[in-house]
Amino acid sequence: MFAWYRNSKACFVYLSDVHSDSRTEDLTQFTTSRWFTRGWTLQELLAPRAVRFFNSTWNGLGSKVKLSVAISKATGIEKEFIENADGIHSTTIAQRMSWAAGRKTSRKEDMAYCLLGILDVNMPLLYGEGTRAFKRLQEEIIKNTYDHTILAWGCGSTTGVQELGNGLLATSPDAFRSWKSYPYRYTEGNHYILTNLGLHIELPVVFLDDNPGTALGILDCGKGYKNHVVLPLEYKKRMDGPITMHRARAITPFYADPSAPNPTSVIVPSFVQPASPVSITPSLPFSDAPSSPSSARSVSVFSATNSISTQASTIADHDFCPATSEQSAYRRLPVYLQMGKLVNDRTGFFWSIQCQKFLKDGYFLADCYPPCDIKMLGTALSIYDVECRSRLVRFCPPDGSTNKTILLLIEMSGTVDCLQIAETDSDLNSWQMLLYSDYKRTNFERLRRDFVWEVLKWHREPNGSFYEIV
CB atoms within 10 A of CB 251: 24
CA distance 407 to 422: 5
Per-residue pLDDT of the chain (470 residues; tens, 9 = 90+): 899 999 999 999 999 999 987 665 678 899 999 999 999 999 999 999 999 999 999 999 999 999 999 999 999 999 999 998 888 998 899 999 999 999 999 999 999 999 999 999 999 999 999 999 999 999 999 998 889 999 999 887 777 776 677 789 999 999 998 886 666 777 766 778 999 889 999 888 888 888 888 999 988 888 766 678 899 999 876 666 778 899 999 999 998 865 554 544 444 444 343 333 322 222 222 233 333 333 333 323 333 332 222 333 332 222 322 333 333 343 578 889 998 877 766 667 788 888 887 777 889 999 999 998 898 888 888 888 887 788 999 999 988 888 999 999 988 765 556 889 999 999 899 999 999 877 788 989 989 999 999 988 776 665 555 666 65
Is 46:118 a contact under the CB 8 Å cutoff?
A: yes
The Cα 406–Cα 399 span in angstroms is 14
Instruction: Give CA–CA dist 412/392, Å, rounded.
Output: 11
CB 174 within 8 A of CB 105: no
Residue-wise pLDDT for 253-278, tens only, equals 998 865 554 544 444 444 343 333 32
Beta pairing partners, 352: 382, 466
d(CA 82, CA 64): 7
Per-residue pLDDT at 289? 34
> Do strands 373-377 and 380-385 pair parallel, antiparallel, or not at all (unpaired)?
antiparallel
C-alpha span between 373 and 344 (Å, rounded): 9
From 167, 168, 163, 132, select the one nearest 148 (Cα to Cα).
168
Per-residue burial over 255-290, b if 16 or more Cβ lie within 10 Å, else e, is bbeeebbebbbbbbbebbeeeeeeebeeeeebeeee
User: How far apart are alpha carbons 150 and 170 in whole angstroms?
Assistant: 8
Q: Which amino acid is at 55?
A: N
314 to 146, 300, 469: CA distances (angstroms): 19, 6, 51
Instruction: State the CB neighbour count (10 A cutoff) for residue 317.
Output: 9
| 3-class SS of residue 3 | helix
Cα-Cα-Cα-Cα dihedral sign, residues 270, 272, 278, 281: negative
As a three-state string, the secondary structure of 164-215 is HCCCCCCCCHHHHCCCCCCCEECCCCCCCEEECCEEEEEECEEECCCCCCEE
CA distance 320 to 448: 39
Q: Where are the beta strands (DSSP E) in 388-437?
A: 391-396, 405-413, 415-424
Residue 345 buriedness (CB in 10 A; 0-12 / 13-18 / 19+): exposed
DSSP per-residue codes, 287-339: --S---TTT-EEEEEEEE-TT----EEEETTSS-----SSS-EES-EEEEE-S
> Could you give the CA distance from residue 243 to residue 201 in angstroms, rounded to a whole number?
11
For CA atoms 245, 247, 250, 254, the dihedral sign is: positive
67-77 pLDDT per residue, tens: 999 999 999 99
Partners of 266 in the β-ladder: 330
Closest among 28, 26, 30, 27 to 18, alpha carbons compared: 30
